[in-house]
Amino acid sequence: MANGERRGPAHVTLARTLGVAIVTGDHPSGTVLPGELELASQFGVSRSVIRESLRMLSAKGLVESRPKAGTRVRERALWNLLDPELLAWMFEGAPSLGFVRSLFQLRMIVEPAAAELAAVQRSAAQLARMGDAVQVMARQGLRTQEGQAADQRFHAAILESTGNELLASLSSSIAAAVRWTTFFKYRVPLEYRDPIPLHRDLFEAIAAGDAAAARGVTERLIAQAGLDTERALGA
Amino acid sequence: MANGERRGPAHVTLARTLGVAIVTGDHPSGTVLPGELELASQFGVSRSVIRESLRMLSAKGLVESRPKAGTRVRERALWNLLDPELLAWMFEGAPSLGFVRSLFQLRMIVEPAAAELAAVQRSAAQLARMGDAVQVMARQGLRTQEGQAADQRFHAAILESTGNELLASLSSSIAAAVRWTTFFKYRVPLEYRDPIPLHRDLFEAIAAGDAAAARGVTERLIAQAGLDTERALGA
DNA sequence: GCAAGTTAATTGTCCAACAAGTTCCGGGAG
DNA sequence: CTCCCGGAACTTGTTGGACAATTAACTTGC
């Protein structure tokens, strides 16, 4: 690419560029984007790179190509919105308030149920991993690199404990998106409540095998994060 | 392709072939699949087609490519299991009982919540579409093409009524997968209970704005489908 | 035994051309 | 004048070859 030097293969950065342009509404649904030749000269790459990028976008349901008709942006309802990369692209632009609310609403549906399952099904080893992670979080706090890594380990252990790989895949996609919202949060000088005590409560509920308590704590955790995020976005 | 004549562009059928081979365990996680040149000669297509297929697989998180190292199958936990195509590929092979159970467990978490939202938020126009669909289903039955189309319209209207596009995307992915399980069901001579009365109940609950009733009916609906599917798979 | 440099293999990228398919336009028939 | 049919042009689809960039694996030297 003549402009925009980024790492990695060109088709990856190109797919990202085009994908962001689409999800941010630059190319509305139903419109056809420029032909492959034009895109190639526009971005200063070969047609091969353009085509491979478009394949990636079509694999995510963003576009569909047909001879003579060109490559058309599919309607938003057909996009694979839960694709982690697609979610990341959404947060490249300014995500709408409605979108963020949908995200937290989905969390509120899925994660309490996952916590319930984890409380009942977790193995001793999985529980131990959660315990370690909570300890590290308590020591390091959530602002440090290590603390955030421990937070991810904690939630990953919960997901694995559900024994449901579809649920795990869904939640990890959501988690990736939520990380972007927390990024926004930290950019804002607002104070928000410390989530670590709730994490400890969740760990104890899972350790006790108390499904109802695990659900309740998770709901409070998400509600708190949702409120804080909403305030940060409103500011 | 020299062998396996299917419709559509070669890279699509190729991606499907490779994707199915991966998800069915033919190429286990961590293994590197043959080089692009070898794949090209093996399938009788050019390297470009192979590469575009691999881009599609990498967009779904199935593989990752690096120079000299080749294209490696990523660990299953990193796959975008909720991708509709990926789910379809899963059902190309014989899906494990555990996978089908995970699928219905996820339905049981997500769809009752969606029904609740729909009962509260649906517009008059959306409600009318649901009513039409239920009527067609009742007249035609679920074995006819028209009846099945009406069934899909009914559930699509519910999803749209939730006002949550992420929830809608998730549920439509699940629905696509469930269609494959019902395909199995119909192949088996087992009788299963008529789901149409429950659909009517669900419609009436949503029409009345009764969220709790909508949740309850949806739970019964899924439980029934899960039991029937389990019996069909056990036979 | 270890470290640094070298080699070789694989993906990444470019180019040029032809094939296939479809949309669009125009002509002819009713 | 309308509708159907056919052809032409444009876009994606596919091919083959060539070279560059990257890096894993080997080799050499310390």
CA dist., res. B94 & res. B91, Å (int): 6
Band of residue A1 on the pLDDT scale cut at 50, 70, 90: very low
- Identify the sign of the CA torsion A220, A223, A227, A229: positive
Dihedral of CA atoms B174, A104, A176, A78 in degrees, nearest 10, equals 40
Contact (CB, 8 A) for A141 and A165? no
Nucleotide nearest to A37 (CA to C1'): D11
- Pairing assessment for the beta strands B70-73 and A63-66 based on DSSP bridges: unpaired
Q: Is the CB of B45 under 7 A from strand D?
A: yes
CATH topology of domain A10-78: Arc Repressor Mutant, subunit A (1.10.10)
- In one-letter notation, the amino acid at residue B74 is R
Q: Could you give phi then psi for residue A83, rounded to 5 degrees?
A: -65, 130
Q: Please report, rounded to whole angstroms, the spatial distance between the CA atom of protein residue A48 and the C1' atom of nucleotide C17.
A: 14
Burial class (CB in 10 A: 0-12, 13-18, 19+), A126: buried
Q: Is the CB of B65 under 7 A from strand C?
A: yes
CA dist., res. B112 & res. B92, Å (int): 28
Q: Bin B46: left if φ > 0, else alpha if -120 < ψ < 50, else beta.
A: beta
Return the pLDDT at B53. 98
Q: Which residue has the higher pLDDT, A56 or A235?
A: A56
CA dist., res. B21 & res. B58, Å (int): 14
Band of residue A187 on the pLDDT scale cut at 50, 70, 90: low
DSSP B79: S
B215 closest CA partner among B223, B145, B17: B223
Q: Please report, rounded to whole angstroms, the spatial distance between the CA atom of protein residue B231 and the C1' atom of nucleotide D29.
A: 69
Of A60, A77, A102, the CB nearest to B164: A102
CATH topology of domain B94-234: Four Helix Bundle (Hemerythrin (Met), subunit A) (1.20.120)
- Measured in whole angstroms, the distance separating CA B218 from the mean position of its chain's CA atoms is 18
Alpha helices in chain B (DSSP H): 10-23, 36-43, 47-59, 84-90, 97-121, 124-140, 145-161, 165-187, 196-208, 211-234
Pick the range with the lowest mean pLDDT from A4-8, A138-142, B98-102, B193-197. Answer: A4-8
Contact (CB, 8 A) for B151 and B194? no
- Contacts of the segment A118-123: beta carbons below 8 A, 24+ positions apart: A118/A158, A118/A159, A118/A161, A118/A162, A118/A206, A118/A214, A119/A205, A119/A206, A119/A208, A119/A209, A119/A210, A119/A211, A119/A213, A119/A214, A120/A209, A120/A211, A121/A161, A121/A162, A121/A163, A122/A158, A122/A161, A122/A206, A123/A161
CA dist., res. B171 & res. B155, Å (int): 9
- Pairing assessment for the beta strands A63-66 and A70-73 based on DSSP bridges: antiparallel
Contact (CB, 8 A) for A57 and A22? yes
Q: How far is B140 from chain A (nearest CA, A)?
A: 28
| Residue labelled with tokens 């389990």 | B230
Mutual orientation of helices B97-121 and B145-161 as an angle, nearest 10°?
60
The segments of chain B whose pLDDT lies below 70 read 1-6, 182-192, 235
Pick the range with the lowest mean pLDDT from A24-28, A52-56, A145-149, B112-116. Answer: A145-149
> What's the whole-number mean pLDDT along residues A9-16?
96
Nearest residue by alpha-carbon distance to C1' of D21: B67
Q: Please report, rounded to whole angstroms, the spatial distance between the CA atom of protein residue A79 and the C1' atom of nucleotide D9.
A: 32
- Identify the sign of the CA torsion A17, A18, A22, A23: negative
Per-residue pLDDT tens digits for B17-39 = 999 999 999 999 999 999 999 99
Return the pLDDT at B144. 84
Interface test with A, best of B166, B171, B219 (most A CBs within 10 A): B166
Nucleotide nearest to B50 (CA to C1'): D14
> What's the whole-number mean pLDDT along residues A168-197?
76
CA dist., res. B16 & res. B7, Å (int): 12
Set of chain A residues whose Cβ sits within 8 Å of the Cβ of B59: 15, 55-57, 59-60, 85
Q: How far is B158 from chain A (nearest CA, A)?
A: 14
Say yes or no for a CB contact (<8 Å) between A167 and B61.
no
Domain boundaries, chain A: 10-78, 94-234
Per-residue pLDDT tens digits for B202-217 = 999 999 999 999 999 9
Examine the pLDDT at A3 and tell me if it is beyond 70. Answer: no
Say yes or no for a CB contact (<8 Å) between A166 and B82.
yes
Say yes or no for a CB contact (<8 Å) between B102 and A55.
no
Share of chain A above pLDDT 90, in %: 74
Return the pLDDT at B228. 84
Q: How far is A62 from chain B (nearest CA, A)?
A: 12
Mean pLDDT (chain A) is 90
Half-sphere exposure of B206 (CA within 13 A, CB side): 35
